[in-house]
Structure 1
Amino acid sequence: MSTRPMTSVEWGLLLVLSLLWGGSFLFNGILVRELPPFTIVTARVGLAAIALWVIVRLSGHAVPRSRDAWLAFFGMGVMNNIIPFSLIVWGQTHIASGLASILNATTPLFAVIVAHVLTQDEKMTGSRLAGVLVGFLGVALMIGPSVLSDLGTDVLAQLAVLGAAFSYSLAGIFGRRFRRMGLPPLLPAAGQVTASALLMLPVALVVDRPWTLAMPSAEAWAALLGLALLATALAYVIFFRILATAGATNLMLVTFLIPVSAILLGALVLGEVLAPKHFAGMALIALGLAAIDGRVLRMFSDKRRAVDA
């Protein structure tokens, strides 16, 4: 049952996934100086698709040929890549990245509600909902309450980022079907980014006209490879591995950890200074995750019952 506490392996994979996606902020920060957004997204998913199909070939997996599998790949690509990527890119042209990060951290809130309505084995519990709320507050505190001063302006842009978070939560529920199809995590990862690349390519060609752009620098090429191979190809293999065993609501907790990873990587790689609010926010996120996991609460409850007995 996916309402069970995650195992130590699943928590480890979730942390690795947050590091990979947190690192994508570093890669994107380099790329946006030289390339337009749709070109970055198309190159990201296209290179990831090539890498993953090479691995599929080398691993001996059969390429799915059924209509149902490919319809699911395209559905997942739309909900997990096309819609959220596009909404977030557009939203961030109007609102600060800090506010966008807080709004994106509502993904677990949406996931808890959507999973409660659409599934039988991921129902909402009091501790899970409380943990999600505490984790969300931790993200808001860590990024900084000052960004909330813009909460009433650019409402459409804010709704766009919230729409992206909702789309991610739907994708988590939708992606559960790949386990029922008997597909190993490598195949949905490859299929999803392939579908996304096919859908994004005409958009990039029409909007960005990439053939008119200057040749990217060596630094940009390195960032693009990191974004495609690490933050996309490897990340989605881990994504579908966690989804298959731990469930959608547990998987969506990664959105709490991504800002933590991004801030820590900024401190380690770019020499950025950590402020007290960062540590306070991380502590709240840890508390929220502990409440969602449930084992710490059960441990204290068991000790209390033992004392009472």
Structure 2
Amino acid sequence: MPIRYWALIIGLGAVWGGSFLFNAILIREIGPLWVSAGRVTIGAAICWVYFFATKRSLPRDRSLYPQLVVLGILNYAIPFALFPFAEQHLASGIVGVINGLTPMTTVIISQLWRGGEKATWNKVAGVLIGFAGALLLASPSLGDAGASGQILAYLAALGATCCYALTLNYARRFKGLDSATIASSSLTAAALIMVPLALLFEGIPVITKIETWGALFGIGVFSTSFSFLLVYWLLPKVGATNLSLNTFITPISAILLGVLILHERFELVHVLGMIVIFVGLVFIDGRFVRWLRPAAA
């Protein structure tokens, strides 16, 4: 694979890791629902600019549009609100690491999904190892009676990964549909749902800081529209397996940005939890396991 594609995969993981930094800045002034609403609205607008600039056309099959609404809810609206909600109680780097559990939740849901990919022994091992790491991350809060908000935050972030896992299985029905159409339509559906919900439950947002506007622009343009358009462009060129390697980059990016910019600190148990989750990802990816087998033989 050309080196430029590897660079794009690494860059994609780094940009997605940056979304957790943006969330941490945004929730200082606006609520999680407005973070999601702002992100999908800006993301949809940029995707439509690309859509019309490349002279694409919408599908004529009207039955696709309710399905794209479901995709917008699962892939954008819900997780984009759950992650900033979690960051009200947890460091952005920790939430970024929990996002790294997406391959684990995907293995579980794919087992239950009709026609889903069945798990191999190394994937099952990866799931068990990954969730052991998640328990390590949450362990400082488990014995603290006053940390119920943190436990709820862990569950919210884990719920977001379940949304992504559902999406990966649900999105198979759009095979053959233009990727820009999928991104533009589903992001628009998410915006049409999240803006009224944000107004209803959080009122009109008041943004007074320039860094909040910058974070909103960054998460909408780079972490949403740019990222998803890049994913759809890269996927046929590098394949799903190679593209999935950004899963290893995103948590590292989230941790580094949290430490360097937000000055977040981590306990030793958090570091151990991150290492264990990373080992689980290695098992699920399978390449290292396949490399060891011939070496052992």
Same fold by TM (over 0.5)?
yes
Cα shift at 1:7: 11
Of the candidates 152, 160, 166, which is equivalent to residue 170 of structure 1? Answer: 166
1:127-276 aligned at under 5 Å gives the runs: 127-138=122-133, 143=137, 145-150=139-144, 153=148, 160-179=156-175, 182-210=176-204, 213-240=205-232, 245-246=239-240, 251=244, 254=247, 257-270=249-262
User: Secondary structure of 1:33's partner?
Assistant: coil
Gaps of 5+ in 2: none
For the aligned residue pairs, the C-alpha RMSD in angstroms reads 3.8
User: Secondary structure of 2:143's partner?
Assistant: helix
Aligned partners of 1:128 and 1:291 also within 8 Å:
yes
Of the candidates 283, 290, 295, which is equivalent to residue 291 of structure 1? Answer: 283
Q: Distance in 2 between matches of 1:266 and 1:204?
A: 26
Gaps of 5+ in 1: 1-5
1:90-101 aligned at under 5 Å gives the runs: 96=90
User: Secondary structure of 2:63's partner?
Assistant: helix
In the alignment, structure 1 residue 109 sits paired with structure 2 residue 101: no
Letter in 1 for 2:202: D
Cα shift at 1:121: 6.0
TM-score, normalization: structure 2?
0.78
Map Cα deviations across residues 206-259 of structure 1 (whole Å, 9 max, x no partner): 23332xx54533222111110100111122234556777428xx85983x6543
Aligned partners of 2:90 and 2:153 also within 8 Å:
no
Q: Distance in 1 between matches of 2:110 and 2:3?
A: 23
Aligned partners of 1:176 and 1:243 also within 8 Å:
no
In the alignment, structure 1 residue 26 sits paired with structure 2 residue 18: no
**Equivalent residue for 1:3?**
none
TM-score, normalization: structure 1?
0.75
Map Cα deviations across residues 158-216 of structure 1 (whole Å, 9 max, x no partner): 6555443322211111112222xx12332212121111001112112223332xx5453
Cα shift at 1:129: 1.8
**Equivalent residue for 2:54?**
59
Aligned partners of 2:116 and 2:169 also within 8 Å:
no
Q: Distance in 2 between matches of 1:206 and 1:135?
A: 37
Query: Structure 1 pair 288/80, CA: closer, same or farther in 2 (3 Å)?
Result: same
Letter in 2 for 1:186: A
Letter in 2 for 1:76: L
1:8-19 aligned at under 5 Å gives the runs: 15-19=10-14
Q: Distance in 2 between matches of 1:79 and 1:291?
A: 26
Query: Structure 1 pair 72/16, CA: closer, same or farther in 2 (3 Å)?
Result: farther
Q: Distance in 2 between matches of 1:56 and 1:105?
A: 30
Letter in 1 for 2:199: L
Query: Structure 1 pair 242/78, CA: closer, same or farther in 2 (3 Å)?
Result: farther
In the alignment, structure 1 residue 301 sits paired with structure 2 residue 293: yes
Of the candidates 107, 121, 130, which is equivalent to residue 126 of structure 1? Answer: 121
Q: Distance in 1 between matches of 2:292 and 2:121?
A: 17
Which has the higher mean CA deviation after the structures are superposed, 111-120 or 97-106? 97-106
Cα shift at 1:51: 0.5
Q: Percent identity?
A: 35
User: Secondary structure of 1:67's partner?
Assistant: coil
Query: Structure 1 pair 186/83, CA: closer, same or farther in 2 (3 Å)?
Result: same
Q: Distance in 1 between matches of 2:24 and 2:215?
A: 9
Aligned partners of 2:96 and 2:255 also within 8 Å:
no
Cα shift at 1:91: 5.8
